[in-house]
Amino acid sequence: MAHSYVQESIKNRRSVNRAFASKFAKSMFIAVSLLVILSFIGTRMFTHVDLNLYGYVVGTFVFIGGFFYRFIAWGERPPTKIFMKKGIRLLFRKSTPKTTANHLGTYQFIWDRGIYRWTQHLLIGWGVILSCLVTFPLVFGWMYFTMEENGYYTVVAFGMDVMRVEADGWLAFFFYNALNFTAIAVILGVCMALYRRLKHMQARAEQKFIYDFMPLYLLLFISITGLALTFMNVFLHGQGHYVMSLIHQYSVIVTLIYLPFGKLAHIPFRPLSVFARNYREHYSEQSMKKCKNCSTEFVSTEQSRDVRDVLHENAIHFDMEEGFNLAELCLPCRRKYRMSRFSGKPTHKVIHKEANQDAKG
């Protein structure tokens, strides 16, 4: 009975997959359908739709397409499949909440590189995240405000009245200016990042305009034009608002289209770091692999085995003449061994710790 049920489930799953041309098409259909359903519920059957925001909707759909394209291409890689599969199984470890807070909330892993870099990442990261949490619910109609004659705003979320706030009160002030606050945070963080990239000699040597600088300029431009809209409304009585709103909207759309294919893609991919951390921590607690050369424990036995399996699966062979696999050496010894192959001298046999081996940053 159980066997027949499993067979029927597999058959149904295959029939559903055959309805789509690819995994990309299936993912896009599910994501867009979900957004439409949520918008249908949130706008009370599309009765509260702000057509001025349609450009953001189009940009979001293009972003989703790019995101799934890159995610599926990345997820099909053998190393990704391994840590994703094992990371999901380890998702309910006791340390997961702490790991999630450190990686996605407080950025503790960047704190070790210095307070300056931690501050800039905190400002940019949370500035962007909070901006998205405010913008997307408004764009898709999941949240909107209605004004009553008695001087109160009603906050509506998914078609339900959730709270009433005084139009001139402090809470309404924070609602009105939420995007202004996040824009200021992003501007400060981006300026700190640009200063470091321009002044730090090593950073200057490694940076490229398209990959490293352009994402920062896009975020800076979005934030400045967003603040300009508020300035025009408050101090210029709406003069120039229409033109600036189009400039701001186009800048957001261009950034959404670019985001999945550039450096900013690590923002939506960042939650997966929790899987990787759980994978490393769990198997490191079981047993560690010792370096074949210096006997230093450098990686878990499970991860070492997975690396060799992936290399073998891709017909990449690193079996050395000395009787070990290159993946069985720690990073310092691996570098020394490669040097020995070029120089002809057994530099990997010299047990000497590198000067910057434990350096932070």
Q: Please provide the DSSP assignment of 231-287 as one string.
A: HHHHHSTTTTHHHHHHHHHHHHHHHHHHGGGSGGGHHHHGGGHHHHHHHHHHHHHH-
Are residues 172 and 225 part of one domain? Answer: yes
Instruction: Tell me if 304 sits within 8 A of 326, measured CB to CB.
Output: no
Q: Residue 308 sits in which domain range?
A: 288-349
User: Is 102 a member of any domain?
Assistant: no
For the chain, the farthest-separated pair of C-alpha atoms sits apart, in whole angstroms, at 86
Query: Do 120 and 156 have their domain in common?
Result: yes
For 50, the 3-state DSSP assignment is coil
What mean pLDDT comes out for the span 74-94? 83
On the 0-12 / 13-18 / 19+ scale of CB atoms within 10 A, 308 is middle
**Same domain for 336 and 249?**
no
Say what the pLDDT of residue 15 is: 59
Residues 286-320 have pLDDT tens digits of 889 888 878 888 888 888 888 888 887 777 777 77
Is residue 318 in a domain? yes
User: Is 99 domain-assigned?
Assistant: no
The pLDDT of residue 231: 93
Residue 163 has pLDDT above 90, yes or no: no
pLDDT in tens, 208-238: 888 888 899 999 999 999 999 999 988 888 8
What CATH number has the domain bearing residue 64? 1.20.950
Q: Please report the pLDDT score of residue 359 as a whole number.
A: 44
Confidence at residue 250, expressed as pLDDT on a 0 to 100 scale: 92
Residue with tokens 């490191």: 284
- Statement to judge: residues 129 and 263 lie in one domain: yes
Q: Which amino acid is at 174?
A: F
pLDDT at 247: 93
Q: Say if residue 123 is in the same domain as residue 47.
A: yes
The reply to whether 26 and 150 lie within a common domain is: yes
Q: Looking at the 3D structure of the chain, how many domains does it have? A: 2
Domain boundary among 241, 269, 297: 269
Which has the closest alpha carbon to 141: 248, 246, 38? Answer: 38
| Residue 166 phi, psi dihedral angles, 5° rounding | -70, 130
The answer to whether residues 166 and 151 touch, using CB atoms and an 8 Å cutoff, is: yes
Residues 122 and 33 in one domain: yes
Give yes or no for residue 346 having a pLDDT over 50. yes
| Two tokens, residue 62 | 């293009």
Residue 194, domain member (yes or no): yes
Domain edge (last residue) among 269, 297, 324 = 269
Considering the domain architecture, whether residues 177 and 320 belong to the same structural domain is answered as: no
Q: Which two tokens stand for residue 336?
A: 């020394």
The C-alpha atoms of residue 217 and residue 214 are separated, in whole angstroms, by 5
Q: By percentage, how much of the chain surpasses pLDDT 90?
A: 17
> For residue 17, is it within any domain?
no
- The residue among 351 and 86 whose pLDDT is bigger is 86
Cβ atoms 130, 48 nearer than 8 A: no
Alpha carbon separation from 124 to 21, 99, 117, 199, 248 (Å, rounded): 38, 20, 11, 19, 18
Q: Which residues does 104 contact at the CB level (< 8 Å), separation at least 6?
A: 270, 271, 273, 274
Euclidean distance between CA atoms 259 and 268, whole angstroms: 9
Q: How far is CA 209 from CA 19, 217, 221, 233, 279, in A?
A: 42, 10, 16, 34, 34
Closest CA to 190 of 160, 166, 212: 212
Q: Mean pLDDT across the chain, nearest whole number? A: 82
- What confidence category does residue 14 fall into, taking pLDDT thresholds of 50, 70 and 90? low
H or E, element range at 288? strand 288-290
248 located within any domain: yes
Examine residue 337 and state whether it is found in any structural domain, yes or no. Answer: yes
Question: Kind and range of the H or E element at 152?
Answer: strand 152-157
Q: Assess whether 50 and 193 both reside in one domain.
A: yes
Q: Is residue 201 located within the same domain as residue 339?
A: no
Is residue 80 in a domain? Answer: no
The strand pairing partners of 289, in sequence order, are: 299
d(CA 56, CA 49): 13
- Mean pLDDT on 7-32: 69
Identify whether residues 203 and 252 lie together within a single domain. yes
**pLDDT tens digits, 239-260:** 888 899 999 999 999 999 888 8
Residues 292 and 197 grouped into a single domain: no
Q: Can you give the pLDDT at residue 118? A: 93
Average pLDDT for 77-100: 85
